[in-house]
Structure 1
Amino acid sequence: MEKQGHHEMQVVTADSQSHIKLLKIHRELLVTRIRNTQCLLDNLLENGYLSSEDVEIVCACPTQPDKVRKLLDLVQSKGEEVSEFFLFVLQQLADAYVDLRPWLVEISFSPSQIIQSKTVVNTDPVSRYTQKLRQQLGCDSKFMLCYAQKEELLLEETYMDTLMELMGFNNESLGSLSGLACLLDHSSGVLNEHGETVFVFGDAGVGKSMLLQRLQSLWASGRLAVEVKFFFHFRCRMFSCFKDSDTLCLQDLIFKHFCYPEQDPDEVFAFLLRFPQAVLFTFDGLDELHSDFDLSRVPDSCCPWEPAHPLVLLANLLSGRLLKGANKLLTARTGVEVPRQLLRKKVLLRGFSPSHLRTYAQRMFPERAAQDRLLEQLDANPNLCSLCAVPLFCWIIFRCFQHFLTAFEGSAQLPDCAVTLTDVFLLVTEVHLNRTQPRSLVQRNTRSPAETFRAGWRTLRALGQMAHRGMARSLFVFSQEEVQASELQEGDLQLGFLRALSEMGPEGGQQSYEFFHLTLQAFFTAFFLVVDDKMGTRELLRFFQEWVPPGEAATPSCYPPFLPFQCLGGGNPVRPEPFTKKDHFQFTNLFLCGLLAKARQKLLRHLVPAAALRRKRKVLWAHLFASLRSYLKSLPRLQSEGFSQVHAMPTFLWMLRCIYETQSQKVGRRAARGICANYLKLAFCNACSADCSALSFVLHHLRKQLALDLDNNNLNDYGVRELQPCFSRLTIIRLSVNQITDTGVKVLCEELTKYKIVTFLGLYNNQITDIGARYVARILDECRRLTHLKLGKNKITSEGGKCLAQAVKNSTSISDVGMWGNQIGDEGAKAFAEALRDHPSLSYLSLAFNGISTEGGKSLAQALQQNSSLTIFWLTKNELNDEVAESFAEMLKVNQTLKHLWLIQNQITAKGTAQLAEALQKNSSLTELCLNGNLIKPEEAKVFEDEKRLICF
């Protein structure tokens, strides 16, 4: 009968037959596939097509097929319109009548305008359950509890996507994911076709839980671009709450422990079992389960009605033995392993990218000026910026900046005074301590920072004691026993400074803890050293001892008696750089300087006697100044061109950071006295723009002029601005390879033209365009002592080249110009040719790799016939041909000053080479003419072997 109905279904359509006849012809198909009569009865009754008596007659039938047959009889008896509405309900409630979807498509049912105007109410248990799930998840995901646990924030206003990366079994990168819907896309990143679980992992605070909350919100509002009808969210920690003897069937786990259907739970569960692909499970925090739980060793359970322990249900859901085909998404912290046979794909959350960070800043700081100031300070300080890659810490740091904005009466700009790391961590601490206050809907917190710290003294001391014990042993994970030994109470563990871990122990799972970030442990270590009465000067300076190179003498006689060791002794140039892989000690020292700064006395005087603070401050400052002076004296010195040059290392930068953290001009002046060299080289020190703030803080106190080499670091434009206070002292400024743009060059122009003392300006390999070239040209015009200018490998074209050439032409001091790797072309080359004619001082010029061809090359050669200053000229890697070689040959017959001419990697053949070789017979001054990499064959080069000055290979 069903086959016959299927055949008729293909030829009998709604257009060719009446709706009554359609119901008659396909009667048995409808009787077989309609599993829910209640929806039809409700809608027919609601629209007046059936009476209450009719509904009672249908409901009185003993079986479901009988109910359908009786309902069809009633509908057909009431006419064409009722039959059409019956079909309309079947079409509109597609989820309730999923088995009839293909049939409705094949008969091409299209309701009339009158029928379309009728109201259809969905009373199907499955659809009502889906609606209930959406309402529940929508409410649960609307707000997120902020890190301080004091306020709820709208998820829509706070959430930001993070970097998601597909990973292989061995954690090799397989590319990035573009959106949350891609997590459930089975077409990419699949590691195991038989696997059922998408595994999302990442560090603590990187946003795993927020990602799941965002998924919930999108699904609840219908914006998740994935066909999912049911969404069940579980926290893995709940599975640890069951007793060993507890058992549940899958239906009870889903309904009783998440969301119960309002009607017909058996029908809803049957639908789930029939269409598992319409289900999405998310399990958050596998690492929060018992530490001895092993997914690969859980007993199999494939019957959805058979009771089992909830952990068994979890493992079998993830493996696909239960509800095979359902979507399952599992999260855990980095380091948690999931059996390969369970995995469908692995996704690593990497946190905020720079673009995410900027977007988040725009969201948190609507005012553009505040955004720019914030982002500049983050760019300048990689310690803060690296924390901001973790969304959790990014929120904390941004709220700290918001606090400073509020403190400055809501000004659109952050205060000009620096926001130091100590400032940020003190504010983080204050925010967390205020969680202990009773919450009020009408009264805001009015406690001062000093009152907050005094009220939290016991907690701070306990945290500090534990942090200090760990730091001394380079220990960063603390057992339950170590926590108890530090006298931390249960409430202290909930403040947010620590996070719980699960650790394997001899007796099974044992709770352990760690600070949320290494710098947080360093901060509390320093705090404990400052405020604890038992911490003497020896303990106070303990972490500075890392500056003592191995094998050095412990206590030189020149040091004060309170110094227990030499900070930076000896002059061994090959000793290893201190603090290698021990930045936690460096941060402890830095926070010590910040906390003992005089500006913090008001905050800490209620925790520690003022006399004790003064004594510790005096000891620390003396130690730091002695360390700085000793360090610089221990460095090898190079005497060159009137300079006493030292090449400092990252340790020197850490010293300056510590001094800067004090924000004391008196400390800065004393530190400046310890700098004896007049050429300070800090190249390749991984210096950031924040280090320029620390440099300026000290160097602007110098009374002598200084040469400063900061090549090959990460300074950018912000770093250039931070150097402003010391430009009045700098004669040599080397800033090559530092991501400096035209903005930074503008600052240089404004500052250097004020003092006019610069002699060397190095800006090689930055991001300078023609705009910046004009600023450099102005420097060259106004700074008449400038002799060396390095602008290679920037983005300067012919326009910028012409400006610079004109400035070179007007300068009587310039002797060395490097323009390698720009794109000045022939127009720029012609401008430099004009500058070369009769130039009184220029002795070195590089226009290598500048796109110069025939016309530009000939102009340069002709100009050199009238030049008697240039001795070195590089034109490597251009487009010079034999015609240009002929011009240079004519020049060599006249010019008797040039000593080195490099025409390497051009397009000169043996013909041009022969002309140059002939010209050399009439030139006695040139010592080398390099033609390597041109169009000269080895056998052709043999002709010129006798001319030793001509180098072809």
Structure 2
Amino acid sequence: MEKQGHGEMEIISPDSRSRIKLLKINRELLVTHIHNTQCLVDNLLENDYFSAEDAEIVCACPTQPDKVRKLLDLVQSKGEEVSEFFLHVLQQLTDAFVDLRPWLLEIGFSPSPLIQSKAVVNTDPVSRYTQQLRHHLGRDSKFALCYAQKEERLLEAIYVDTVMELVGFGHESLGSLGSLACLLDHTSGVLNEQGETVFVFGDAGVGKSMLLQRLQNLWATGRLDAGVKFFFHFRCRMFSCFKKSDTLCLQDLLFKHFCYPEQEPGEVFAFLLRFPHTALFTFDGLDELHSDLDLSHVPDSSCPGEPAHPLVLLASLLSGRLLRGAGKVLTARTGTEVPRRLLRKKVLLRGFSPSHLRAYARRMFPERALHERLLEQLEANPNLCSLCAVPLFCWIFFRCFRHFQATLDGSPRLSDRAVTLTDVFLLVTEVHLNRAQPRSLVQRNTRSRAATLRAGRDTLCALGQLARWGTERSLFVFGQEEVRASGLQEGDLQLGLLRALWEPGPGGDEPAYEFLHLTLQAFFTAFFLVLDDRVGTRELLRFFQEWAPPGESEAVSCYPPFLPLQCLGRSSLAKEDPFKKKDHFQFTNLFLCGLLSKAQQKLLRHLVPEAALKRKRRALWTHLSSSLRSYLKSLPRVHSDGFSQVQAMPTFLWMLRCIFETQSQKVGQLAARGICANYLKLTYCNACSADCSALSFVLHHFHKRLALDLDNNNLNDYGVRELQPCFSRLTVVRLSVNQITDGGAKVLCEELTKYKIVTYLGLYSNQITDVGARYVAQVLDECQSLTHLKLGKNKITSEGGKCLALALKNSRSISEIGMWGNRIGDEGAKAFAEALQGHPSLATLSLASNSISTEGGKSLARALQQNTSLRIFWLTKNELNDEVAESMAEMLKVNQTLQHLWLIQNQITAKGVAQLADALQKNTGITEVCLNGNLIKPEEAKVFEDEKRIVCF
């Protein structure tokens, strides 16, 4: 036998196959490591191996070791079969007897067929709690909360994935995420091995909460295979409900404020502490966490049994000071910063692509005729279609569409003008207010929108007062005191615009309330600012303060203060709170502009005196145009290549959205006059297709030529379509990394060939196939001012490559083409080779990572013998071998104008390198031949050390 030493488990294996003897000689080990006797007793009772009296004898023992000893005595006294079944239970219930796994493996226990046929009942507290959590989360996540509130839909029936993209610390794209299970995959997209938090972010309404609900549902139904036994879901706004003096230990936070174990909570918590990697936490809406607590002097909590303020527990969980190794998924709106040391992955949610939108329409409207009619309307109204790229707005509009189809036998009452977000939310308000009206089985409700709003004015004012109170304080949960103070009646609470919350808060045992979404709270805040005659100009504009350039922020009333949460890594009070996000202010501004627009004047004059509307509208419009001008003037400028370039930030997009929401051409004209640069850079702003509508609304009043850089956003084909009014002015069009497909390429072709002024077209990393490549080729062929074309990382094969090569051959202006990461192959390479012969202007060409092998490479080499324009040629990551290297060497003996040749990561050996090195003896023009990552050993590379232009490592 082996004796245990220094805390190691003792392993004793008998020679005899007697199960009784096995239990006897390993008695000490079993007494030490069996902590759950009840589970064993339950199984022995279930299979009639124990009587009720036997169970009572075991349970009557005073201590756990005594219970195990008595249990072993009774089992051994009942013979070999019972002893074998006892071992079988230990083997089957791995969670209950985790410490005995090594011993069971060592002895090689294998039960007989008779014992295998016996039922094993899992009454282990840990396993029972896992099942309890599955039931709890399965119940809570089964139905999706509709914005009608009186009807819920099965999540399974309506859920559609959104576009999810892995990003780096600098928001650079690291590729798309295939499924929700990939969120928890430890092999892809990891930015920091020591970080434990997967950070999912995106704009308001893009589907962050729905994603977590889907994740919960997958786990609850056993479809998320990630080794997770415990799943705890918290909404961050819950932590704002605790009082300053409240303290909790971690066990109480998990069990009392989420789901309390039915059995042995101490044992369940002890298992969690031992195996934290079996737990997954999701925290929804970090940006909604607001507290008036100053945590700068509160110590971090690293002891799970030590009481601390719940915010400290949250911070300690995220930082790994508590339950290190547990998985965490954290969501927040775009712009919320989380310290890098906490992050394992960053995932950007981009909303619905066109294909997602079509799939979602089919889910929401299974009736074929109805969903086809809906899609026709969306196709006819690109602006509404672009709004529907945001899942929340899509859901809201679809619900309104359903309502009007059912009640009016027609489509939603939207005019022919561009549909704004305010229009959609006014529809929502009308739908919900009509719910309070008595219904007739024989007569439809034909009351006008104006009459509906006029009848519900008191309700709107009460909702607005409550919303404004919360928005000013960045609070999103309301206790009974605030609800009563706002004047809301019981019937108002039943309309479905608010939902009840049974979370810790000022109401004690009474429910707290929240608006269905942050955007709805912002809408009613704006509605109140318009409806209330007591709201003056200064108060009307108070939420616009963020727009003011540095040094001018005192011009508008200040926001309520945000005190920093030091517990996640920010130590200076002067630094901005990493969790601060102001979308609730920005959406309030947006809806204020929509409600005060001229288009809504006829509707609102039934609720507000016309003189008050005009006064507020005049003040708002003046502020909008002056703010945009001041903002752009405050941005630093870069003067390069004849352009005065400004890098605008997301704030600029919010300004444009607000201006668009006014639908005032006069405001658009004033805003356009304030654009004092001719190169607008809006990269990494998370702009969506609806933002293109706002951009066009202003830029079509800009009468000079303009460069527009929208790389790395979320525009898709709808966004390209919405930019149509701008193309007559755009000389630089950069739309890389924007989910643009062949449909978008077609729009670009139609518009750019109409005006023929484009000099730069950037479409890198989109979803353009050979069909779209033909459209781009037409642009290259007809727009003789085009000098730069970026088409890398699309889905272009040899057919598209041939079209582009033919257009290249005809172009006399193009100087750079980027085709990295396509699949043009040897056939496409041959077509490019033909275009290169004698080409007068092309200076830079990238055909890297294009599946080009021997024949294609040799064709390109031969073509370059007849080319004097090309200076940079990239053939990285292809399948080029020594034959190609030999052809390139022959080319270099002739071509004296090529300066940079990149043959990195191919299949060239030392033999090919030697030929290239020999050719350089006759070439004075080449600067470098890069051969890193080829089949060259370090010792072989030493031979070429004297030739500095050969780069092997």
1:552 corresponds to 2:551: yes
1:672 corresponds to 2:676: no
State the distance in 2 between where 1:199 and 1:530 align: 44
State the distance in 2 between where 1:484 and 1:663 align: 37
What per-residue deviation string (whole Å, max 9, x for no partner) do you get for residues 266-290 of structure 1? xxxxxxxxxxxxxxxxxxxxxxxxx
Matching residue's letter, 1:485: A
State the distance in 2 between where 1:408 and 1:461 align: 28
1:366 corresponds to 2:365: no
Tell me, which stretches of 5 or more residues in structure 1 are unaligned?
1-142, 193-197, 205-290, 301-331, 337-347, 389-393, 557-562, 567-573
Aligned to 1:934: 934
- 1:692, 1:719 within 8 Å by CA — same for their partners in 2? yes
Matching residue's letter, 1:486: S
Aligned to 1:764: 764
- 2:548, 2:627 within 8 Å by CA — same for their partners in 1? no
Q: Out of 386, 391, 400, which is 1:385 matched to? A: 391
Question: 1:506: how far off?
Answer: 8.0
Aligned to 2:950: 950
State the distance in 2 between where 1:189 and 1:839 align: 56
Aligned to 2:327: none
534-543 vs 917-926, which moves further = 917-926
State the distance in 2 between where 1:521 and 1:506 align: 20
What per-residue deviation string (whole Å, max 9, x for no partner) do you get for residues 504-524 of structure 1? 468951332111111111011
What per-residue deviation string (whole Å, max 9, x for no partner) do you get for residues 27-72 of structure 1? xxxxxxxxxxxxxxxxxxxxxxxxxxxxxxxxxxxxxxxxxxxxxx
Q: Out of 353, 357, 360, which is 2:360 matched to? A: 357
Aligned to 2:477: 477
Q: Looking at CA atoms only, which structure, 1 or 2, has the larger radius of gyration?
A: 1
State the distance in 1 between where 2:665 and 2:692 align: 16
Secondary structure at the aligned position of 2:510 is classed as: strand
1:539 corresponds to 2:539: yes
- Which runs of structure 2 are paired with 1:90-129 in the superposition (5 Å)? none
Question: 1:654: how far off?
Answer: 0.6
Over 3 Å counting, the alpha-carbon distance change for 1:944 and 1:372 in structure 2 is farther
Question: 1:334: how far off?
Answer: 8.9
- 2:404, 2:412 within 8 Å by CA — same for their partners in 1? no
What per-residue deviation string (whole Å, max 9, x for no partner) do you get for residues 113-167 of structure 1? xxxxxxxxxxxxxxxxxxxxxxxxxxxxxx99996589x99x8999647899999
Aligned to 1:866: 866
What per-residue deviation string (whole Å, max 9, x for no partner) do you get for residues 680-721 of structure 1? 111111111111111111111111111000111111111111
State the distance in 1 between where 2:448 and 2:656 align: 31
Aligned to 2:528: 528
State the distance in 2 between where 1:177 and 1:156 align: 11
Matching residue's letter, 2:453: F
1:421 corresponds to 2:427: no
State the distance in 2 between where 1:685 and 1:712 align: 8
Matching residue's letter, 2:451: E
Aligned to 1:900: 900
Higher relative contact order (Cα pairs below 8 Å, separated by 6+ residues): 2
Aligned to 1:787: 787
Aligned to 1:637: 637
Question: 1:552: how far off?
Answer: 2.2
Aligned to 2:751: 751
Matching residue's letter, 1:357: Y
What per-residue deviation string (whole Å, max 9, x for no partner) do you get for residues 747-804 of structure 1? 1111111111111111111111111111111111111111111111111111111111
Question: 1:417: how far off?
Answer: 3.5
Aligned to 1:827: 827
1:612 corresponds to 2:612: yes
Matching residue's letter, 2:640: S
Over 3 Å counting, the alpha-carbon distance change for 1:458 and 1:879 in structure 2 is same
State the distance in 1 between where 2:180 and 2:145 align: 27
Over 3 Å counting, the alpha-carbon distance change for 1:490 and 1:693 in structure 2 is same
- Which runs of structure 2 are paired with 1:551-630 in the superposition (5 Å)? 552-554=551-553, 581-630=581-630
Aligned to 1:914: 914
Secondary structure at the aligned position of 1:863 is classed as: helix
Aligned to 1:391: none
Over 3 Å counting, the alpha-carbon distance change for 1:806 and 1:507 in structure 2 is closer
State the distance in 2 between where 1:509 and 1:916 align: 82
Sequence identity (%): 69
Question: 1:501: how far off?
Answer: 2.0
Question: 1:553: how far off?
Answer: 3.9
State the distance in 2 between where 1:847 and 1:377 align: 37
- 2:480, 2:507 within 8 Å by CA — same for their partners in 1? no
Secondary structure at the aligned position of 2:514 is classed as: strand
Secondary structure at the aligned position of 2:809 is classed as: helix
Over 3 Å counting, the alpha-carbon distance change for 1:188 and 1:940 in structure 2 is closer
Question: 1:554: how far off?
Answer: 4.2
Question: 1:191: how far off?
Answer: 7.6
- 2:467, 2:524 within 8 Å by CA — same for their partners in 1? yes
Aligned to 2:4: none
Secondary structure at the aligned position of 2:435 is classed as: helix
What per-residue deviation string (whole Å, max 9, x for no partner) do you get for residues 170-206 of structure 1? 99999999999997889999988xxxxx9998999xx
- Which runs of structure 2 are paired with 1:196-595 in the superposition (5 Å)? 357-363=360-366, 366-371=370-375, 373-374=377-378, 380-381=386-387, 384-386=390-392, 394=395, 396-402=396-402, 410=410, 417-504=417-504, 508-548=508-548, 552-554=551-553, 581-595=581-595
Secondary structure at the aligned position of 1:746 is classed as: helix
- 2:548, 2:630 within 8 Å by CA — same for their partners in 1? no
Aligned to 1:220: none
Aligned to 2:852: 852
Matching residue's letter, 1:721: R
- 1:367, 1:412 within 8 Å by CA — same for their partners in 2? no
Over 3 Å counting, the alpha-carbon distance change for 1:683 and 1:159 in structure 2 is closer
Secondary structure at the aligned position of 2:502 is classed as: strand
Matching residue's letter, 2:631: Y
Aligned to 2:818: 818
- 2:408, 2:444 within 8 Å by CA — same for their partners in 1? no
- 1:369, 1:412 within 8 Å by CA — same for their partners in 2? no
Aligned to 1:90: none
Tell me, which stretches of 5 or more residues in structure 2 are unaligned?
1-142, 162-178, 185-195, 201-210, 237-255, 266-281, 286-309, 311-329, 331-348, 560-573
State the distance in 2 between where 1:640 and 1:188 align: 53
- 1:165, 1:176 within 8 Å by CA — same for their partners in 2? no
RMSD: 4.5
881-890 vs 699-708, which moves further = 881-890
Secondary structure at the aligned position of 1:514 is classed as: strand
State the distance in 2 between where 1:333 and 1:935 align: 49
Matching residue's letter, 1:463: L
Over 3 Å counting, the alpha-carbon distance change for 1:949 and 1:793 in structure 2 is same
TM-score, with length taken from structure 2: 0.62
What per-residue deviation string (whole Å, max 9, x for no partner) do you get for residues 368-427 of structure 1? 252254487676237841355xxxxx3x43132356779998479986643321111111
Matching residue's letter, 1:757: I
State the distance in 1 between where 2:577 and 2:507 align: 43
Question: 1:878: how far off?
Answer: 1.2
- 2:646, 2:681 within 8 Å by CA — same for their partners in 1? yes
State the distance in 2 between where 1:442 and 1:681 align: 58
Over 3 Å counting, the alpha-carbon distance change for 1:735 and 1:601 in structure 2 is same
Over 3 Å counting, the alpha-carbon distance change for 1:407 and 1:720 in structure 2 is farther
